[in-house]
Chains A and B, each alone.
Chain A
Amino acid sequence: MTLAVHMIRQLANAVALLGAVLVLNFCLIHLAPGDPVQVIAGEMGGASAEVIAALREKYGLDHTLMEQLFTYLGKVATGDFGYSYYFNEPVLHLIAQRLPATLYLAISALVMAVLIGTALGVVSARRPNGVLSHGVTVLSLAGYAAPIFWTGLMLLLLFGSVWPILPVTGMADVVHPRTGFAYLLDVLHHLILPSLTLALVFIAQYSRLARVNMIDVLSADYIRTARAKGLPEWIVVVKHALRNALIPIVTIVGLQFGNLFAGAVLVETVFSWPGMGRLVFDSILRRDYPTLMAVLFFSAMMVMIANIVTDMMYRLIDPRIRTGAR
């Protein structure tokens, strides 16, 4: 199968899957008890029956579920994701405002996790029974086992209160707003704690994975051959071993993109990071159906894109997959 045909098939699958995601999201969200009108009425301090009826009519919630589903699908087909019940703003506008913050967080956490995780894995694989290797193992297990919001709260207390060197809320200094390069530095400063929190759990997994793979690869015949040829050790490790050990990591990174988003919901809530995670959290609590459905849809889309990109990278790293050779 040529690469082009493969890509077209992948894309067609993705589009069909997104359609299914839309319907599934709609059903799941509407199955939850409680309705958005009650939330709005509640936030108003208890509205009258007339106000409630008017709200229900305005949002089309007085129609049957089936009618609502078809209206929704029809609108989405034209690119209209509706208005947020809560914020009275177009949902796409809300998402456009929040998406960059989540991407900064997710990408920086991912980069941090891959770099640190792989490095720790490689280092501990060199001497699998050394102190460093055991230390990394223990830390990995702890990092993986700790709930992400707990890790976040601990880091928040540590670097926000006990040793207050890092900002703990928001994305930038709101009192002394900066521009240009200074703004970028400010955002990076604010990014450290949330992205570290999010990265920790993945660092743990990647270091374990890298360690196991490196141990495996380092004992392979071609590594022994490389060493026998008298190549410097770092060339053996980095050029010959790491490339092969990376393949499983690339795969898992792609597959875990969804987990990364789920983690971002918690991290953004702990650190008041103004991204999609908080939007989805608030929307669930408020039954803000249009916002919730749109956020979930775009998250699913991003996970699919990540999977396609993974697939491509996989083929790039390992020529055997590209050519179909086994």
Chain B
Amino acid sequence: MSLKRSILAGALGCLLSLAAPGLLRAQSAGGTVVIASTQVPRHFNGAVQSGIATAVPSSQIFASPLRYDDNWTPKPYLAESWEVAPDGLSVTLKLVKNAVFHDGHPVTSEDVAFSIMAIKANHPFQSMLAAVDKVETPDPFTAVIRLSHPHPALLLAMSPALMPILPKHIYGDGQDLKTHPANLKPIGSGPFKLTEYKQGEYYTLEKFDRFFIPGRPKLDRIVVRLISDPNAAIVSMERGDANILPYAAGVRDIERLQKAANLTVTDKGFAGIGPLNWLAFNTRKKPLDDVRVRQAIAYTANRDFIVSKLMGGKATPATGPIAPGSPLEEKSVETYKFDLAKAQALLDAAGYPKQADGTRFSLTIDYLPGFDEQQRNIAEYLRSQLKRAGISLEVRAAPDFPTWAQRVSNYDFDLTMDNVFNWGDPVIGVDRTYLSSNIRKGIIWSNTQQYSNPKVDELLAAAARETSPDKRKALYAEFQKIVVSDVPIFFVNATPYYNAFSKGLGNLPTTIWGMMSPLDELYWETPPKT
């Protein structure tokens, strides 16, 4: 090789090495992400169906008026701006002008009005939009939501997980929205469109080229693989067959995922759903109708042991009805630190002295099947723990959810473990458990404790309408103190949900809605080898 050639080759090499990072970055745009999901969606329309299985795809397919960051701050999405009237009786949304549905139709205020009224009529969270009277559409890009009373929860209800904007030209054909054929072939204006659904196997979301936010989504494709066995899901993550495993809840599963060198594991992204693991009491049944008995059980339960030992420190202790992570959580409440002497004194005072055989009375405990570490193990532990206070506890297993739900919703229980979500705002997911008006036999996750306190009803009604954030927080603080001292429920922990991601993924969804937010910013920093 001549000197001249060597110099040329060297220069070219230098240039290439300088350009390489740029080339690599260019390569990383696009790509496919595989999500391993143990949850099978009934359909993809989050306007008429709650729950994680539907909300994850629905938030990709449909856009919503607002979205949220990790500090509970609303951000523009389909609405570029929004204004709450000083009297709190209306909210005006100004929509972006370039949003179109996957079939090319523009998104207008008509669609927003249609969707809000459809959600009000069909969504299981009836309190979420109960205050909405009507939605006016003065022009194609302005929607004015008229309310019967101030409704501060409305802004949170405009999140992708709760308020997908549906195309009126498809869903407005008069068919029942809950069984509309389009629910399985949805058309939205979100970053991804559903291109294939193989029943029981997988569904595929492809990038929507005309998404209204320039440069997004960054990925080309999301494939959601439906995996029924959690062990198989974890092996898939370890092998790199799947890149995201959302909502892992088993302590041993989480430990295994954390040990895998190719994975990042985080507990961020669950503040919005606010999952709580708790021990509920049938407050109308003797001897649990006496608050002192319930308090005694709370003092005996030893939350610290449950969280640190039974759950291996993976869970956060919960002390009240509003989940840790919510700005409305009140921390200064009675924590019922383990105190056996106090528990014994309370039971004596309540008129349940120890009998000759050392017991005071017998109870049964049920638990929600399918989540052994959060539910069955705690029920079993409580049996030995309550025995120390003289309470004989029988653990009653249910083979499946329908059996358990039937017992609990028909008040055929003494104590039950349960796992219930806050869903962001107390009006959406908390009130239902404590309002006396929601004592409805036969309905699971209503006020099945049959707890009734007029002061609590009053506080919840006032807080639901209070527009001043400070005053609202104060009202909920008082509510939490009362509920914790009345103990219709002993709060154990925030359910330890974790998301596992393949290393090399950027902009992980750690907002309050986590995997139920649009994944339009997620991208491959270093794409996996295929």
Contact = CB atoms under 8 A, between A and B. Distances in A.
**On chain A, which size bracket covers the interface?**
35 or more
A323 interface: no
A109 B124 CA distance: 44
Given A38-B402, A39-B405, A47-B124, A170 B202 contact: yes
Which range contains the number of B residues in contact with the other chain?
A: 35 or more
B445 A45 contact: yes
A44 B124 contact: yes
21 contacts: A34-B404, A35-B402, A45-B421, A49-B442, A88-B43, A89-B199, A98-B199, A169-B236, A170-B225, A174-B34, A174-B223, A269-B228, A270-B228, A270-B229, A270-B231, A271-B232, A272-B226, A272-B228, A274-B200, A274-B226, A282-B40
Contacts of B53: 43
Contacts of B204: 174
B84 to A, nearest CB: 26
B526 interface: no
A162 to B, nearest CB: 10
A286 B40 CA distance: 12
A197 to B, nearest CB: 12
A81 to B, nearest CB: 16
Most buried by A among B34, B53, B400: B400
A46 B228 contact: no
A94 B200 CA distance: 9
A98 B200 CA distance: 8
A303 to B, nearest CB: 22
Given A41-B443, A88-B42, A175 B199 contact: no
B107 to A, nearest CB: 26
Given A34-B406, A271-B232, A41 B124 contact: yes
A169 B227 contact: yes
A279 interface: yes
Given A94-B199, A168-B232, A272-B226, A89 B49 contact: no
Interface in B386-406: 400-406
Nearest to B445: A46
Nearest to A279: B200
- The interface centre, meaning the residue of A47, A51, A176, A270 with most chain B CB atoms within 10 A of its CB, is A47
Q: Which 4 pairs across A and B sit closest by C-beta, in order of nearness? A: A34-B402, A46-B445, A44-B124, A274-B201
Q: Most B CB atoms within 10 A — which of A41, A153, A161, A169?
A: A169
Interface of A: 32-36, 38-39, 41-49, 51-52, 86-89, 94, 97-98, 153, 156-157, 160-161, 164, 167-171, 174-176, 268-272, 274-275, 278-279, 281-282, 284-287
Contacts of B406: 33-35, 38
A46 B448 CA distance: 11
Contacts of A287: 402
Interface string B5-45: 00000000000000000000000000010101000101100
B331 interface: no
B423 A174 contact: no
A9 B500 CA distance: 59
B125 interface: yes
B239 A160 contact: yes
B232 A161 contact: no
Nearest to A164: B239
A176 B429 CA distance: 41
B201 A170 contact: yes
B126 interface: yes
A269 B235 contact: no
B51 A44 contact: yes
